[in-house]
Amino acid sequence: MRKTLLLIFILLFIFSTSFSQNVHRNFKGSVTDSTTGLPMKDVTIAFYKAQDTSLINFAFTTPNGNYTMELHLKDSIIIIISQMGYNDKTEKVPVAGWEWTFDEKNFKLSKSSHQLKEIKIHAGLIWMKGDTIEINAARLKVLPNSDVSQMFKKIPGFEVSKDGSIKVNGGEVSKIMVDGSDFFGSSPGLVSKNLRADMIDKVQVYDDKDETGSVVPDNTKTINLKLKKGSRIGMFGDAVAGYGTNDRYESGLRLNSFKNDRKWSLIANSNNVNDKGFDFGFNNWHGGSWVERTGKLSRYVYYNNQADDAERKGNINQKSDVAFTYFNEFSHKRKVSFNLGFNHNKFNSISQSTSENPVNDSIRQRSESSQILNGMAKEFTADINYTKETDTVGNWGIGVSGAYNLFDKNFQSTNRITRNDFVINSGTNNTQRNTTQQKANFYFDYFRRARKNKLLTFKFDVKSNINASNADAYQFSKSSSSDFNFKNNTINNGREHLMQANVTIPLHKKLRLGSTVDGYLMQTTNNINVLNAGVFSLQDFSQNYSQRNDPLSIKFLNSAQQISEKTFLSWRNDDWDFRFGATYLNLTLNNEDQVNHLLVNKNYHPILPFISYNIWRKSLGHANIVFEKAVEFPSFIHLLPIQDLTNPWMRLVGNPYLLPFEQWQLAGSFSKQNYKRIKNLWSNFSINQSDNYLCYVNTMNANGISYRTPTNLSGYFNESFSISAKTGLTKKLDLGVWFSERNTITPEIFNQQKNYGNNFAFNCFPTLSINGSEKIDFEFGLGLSYSDYKNNLNSTVNYHQWLPEINTNMRVNVWKGAELNWDLGIEDKRAIPGIGKVISIFNLFFQQALDKDEKYNLKFTCYDLFKQNITISRSVNGSFVNTSQSNLLQRFFGLSFIYKMKGKNSEGGGAAY
């Protein structure tokens, strides 16, 4: 913990001293109604650079009508005060004459039915409409051809990660809607990449709420994109075709048609450059909520369906996708959508790893292995959804979906086990696995709220899943001690049903009682037949099994029944919510091996209390803290004493006496916008503790074969902390810092003795980025990762390592119709023994428009110029120190042709795409 406090102190010191030479301009004041003289809340106070009218930052007034803002630039500033239904007020502030200035500015707004012409250019960038933040997209300066995700980066408080996830003021964006409908489903990254910035008129942001209208505790957000009038009618899209060295290629077609409330999209894509393509991943929702298990964390039955473990991708992929989606909203608030999709992927991976285990002070066992994986996945999916609002206080929805999947996998592994450099076992393992899956899902939900009291609500949900799979695995394993060959046929048939009822009852103006009851039933049948492979066999199963108890044929009949009841009391004010309660679970697990006459029957009935406090006051920011108990139940494969045949070097043996993994958790988060010198700040922490941690006992025989048995141990502890902040360093430059740390104490069994592994790690990433430019987007970042592992009984596995890195990316409008985009990453991994080195990865593409309308474009791509794209890592797993490396997609050059279709509308205009 002292390390953590020291690192935070150093981070804050660096962060604060970096601004010591900046100008400090402090603004504060109030806004009142010119007629009544009363203070006005939620009035937008926006600060712009007078030179180019680009946004610097903004704030909203408190319920008392007050505001504060601190800026760090000398330039002349324009302040615009705006509120819906009132005349905007504009004031220009001259260049700062001192390093420190304090300005108190009070404003009076007068009501108006129209906007003043003299401030039309500047007005209406950001304002509050009730509990919704609305941003005028036309006022944001973005590069030509930017998509919505690039526009989001220009809005204060928005953060867009490389994987497409989006945060607003520290809260995750759960979904992005288009003109109020869930056309693109629940994939925010997909929407932000599929729509262009110049199609958007307004960006609306609001907190997610529960059935009663209360803000949800986890601070998630929803974004609604209002399209420009010309973008709501017509077809737009693009097409790409390209080829490069090493037979690399990309191709794709994307068509989108909007006509008022009717929308459809057709997506087709094929490439072998590891690009996700357009990968829609549709999951259309119309405003309902999917039925989930009671509570948070892991309060649910976990069971293992072996056929679900089939790989769908590798390190290098040749991927093809076709998807079609349709959405329409009819009169009387009826919405319908359906989706069809096909995905095909051929993939491969190559990796090498070394695991070292000090058996005692004088004996070290080493396992060296290499793996080659080749596979193919085909997936067909379809779904249809229908929802209807019965009136202003009720709605219901119904939906069905299905999938048919094919998976083939070929896996070859070579393994060499030595003890003090003496070879005790070596060999190969070849596996071919062919799997088919069929799935069907059904849901129905109903919601009703009282007309006179929105806190009186009722919600009912039903969900059913049916799945079936058939897998054939052929395996040949040859080692220095034995050979065995078999065919493994696994047939799984399962179904699960969940019914859930939720009611909230108002007890007082601010007090309410909530209760959720759910019933869960799951049944699955697993037929596993292990047969002699006959023609492939060199020896039969009876030979060379010193610890043989593997059944050759097993039939599992698994079932689980659970009744859960969660009750809580909630006291809610305008800007905070306090709630406490408990969840009672009654779970019965039944597992029967009908061939070997083994029966496991378990009943669990834990009580899981929780307490939470959530505040979203604008003057303080958003904070949430939760203290609760959670549980993860054993899976069927954990409980039955059946060995896993598929891995000849690591044997899994079940433990019928295993207890559920219970843990206490204290977690919290905080976010604040415009906090002193910091534009955006958010952080979170988590502390977990358990006295029956689920871990494995590892034992080895003389041949180097390991046996793993799950068990419960006390002493588990895990704490983590992260913080992210951004501030203006100069008028064109932002400084951001992301810091995280984790400290985990894990109990283990080593040489029949209980010991503890302590794993401490932290990451620190400061970044510099250019803001407010229409010509260039640029970011430069440094990174430092540190990890330290200590074992109290076995110091030979201890290690610590520092891994620095540099990352930079730039997107620049070179001239009209030409764009340059490149990123460079340099990782210093020399601290990893045996395989460590400096890895430099440089990617670049240059795109040039071929006509003045920029419909036709040519793109040149350079990927991994230095041909160093590999993964290298070191980690600890139990008593093993693992180092590994694997192949990734490496250098190629490509040339692509892009055609962009522009939408048309009834007025003859359109939104370029």
Could you report the per-residue pLDDT of 298-318, keeping only the tens digit for each? 333 333 344 445 678 889 999
pLDDT at residue 363 is higher than 80: no
Long-range contacts of 529-532 (CB under 8 A, 24+ apart): 529/488, 529/489, 529/490, 529/553, 530/486, 530/487, 530/488, 530/645, 531/486, 531/487, 531/488, 531/489, 532/485, 532/486, 532/487
Residues above pLDDT 70, as percent of the chain: 78
Q: Is the pLDDT of residue 225 over 90?
A: no
Average model confidence (pLDDT) for the chain? Answer: 78
CB 266 within 8 A of CB 341: no
**Residue 658: CB atoms within 10 Å:** 20
Q: Which of 32-41, 660-669, 791-800 has the highest mean pLDDT?
A: 660-669
Supply 19's token pair. 């601004």
pTM above 0.85, yes or no: no
pLDDT in tens, 584-594: 888 888 877 77
Residue predicted with more confidence, 208 or 374: 374
Structure tokens at 805: 């890195």
Give yes or no for residue 180 having a pLDDT over 80.
no
Give me the mean pLDDT over the 68-83 stretch: 79
Give the mean model confidence (pLDDT) for residues 790-802.
83
Could you give the 3-state DSSP secondary structure of residue 411? Answer: strand
Mapped onto helix, strand or coil, the DSSP state of residue 197 is helix
DSSP state, residue 247: G
Compare 163 and 555 and report the one with higher pLDDT: 555
Helix (H) or strand (E) holding 637: helix 636-639
> Which amino acid appears at position 510 of this protein?
K
Query: Does residue 70 contact residue 58 with C-beta atoms inside 8 Å?
Result: no
Q: Give pLDDT, residue 599.
A: 76
Q: Are residues 767 and 846 in contact, defined by beta-carbon separation less than 8 angstroms?
A: no
Over residues 478-491, the mean pLDDT reads 74
Pick the more confident residue, 210 or 11.
210
Mean pLDDT of 121-143: 67
- Asked whether the predicted pLDDT for residue 542 surpasses 60, the reply is no
pLDDT at position 904 over 70: no
* 77-82 and 44-49 strand pairing: antiparallel
| pLDDT at 28 exceeding the cut of 70 | yes
Pick the more confident residue, 383 or 708.
383
- Other Cβ atoms closer than 10 A to 508: 9
State mean pLDDT over 179-188.
62
- pLDDT, residue 711, reads 92
Spatial distance between the Cα atoms of 157 and 221, rounded to a whole number of angstroms: 12
How does residue 141 score in pLDDT terms, banded at 50, 70 and 90?
confident
Q: Which pLDDT score, from 0 to 100, does residue 80 have?
A: 84
Detail the DSSP E strand segments found in 277-393: 316-330, 334-358, 364-391
pLDDT score recorded for residue 243: 97
pLDDT level of residue 544 (50, 70, 90 thresholds) = very low
Cα 211 from Cα 456, distance rounded (Å): 9
| Sequence-ordered strand ranges (E) for 184-220 | 200-207
User: Which pLDDT belongs to residue 130?
Assistant: 55
Mean pLDDT value across residues 875-893: 85
The answer, yes or no, to whether residue 537 has pLDDT greater than 60, is no
Please say whether the beta carbons of 437 and 307 come within 8 A: yes
Residue 284, pLDDT > 60, answer no
Give dist(CA 197, CA 140) in Å, integer: 9
Kind of pairing between the strands at 249-259 and 316-330: unpaired
Residues contacting residue 637 through CB under 8 Å, at least 6 positions apart: 304, 652, 654
Average pLDDT over residues 103-120: 64
Q: Is the pLDDT of residue 283 over 60?
A: no
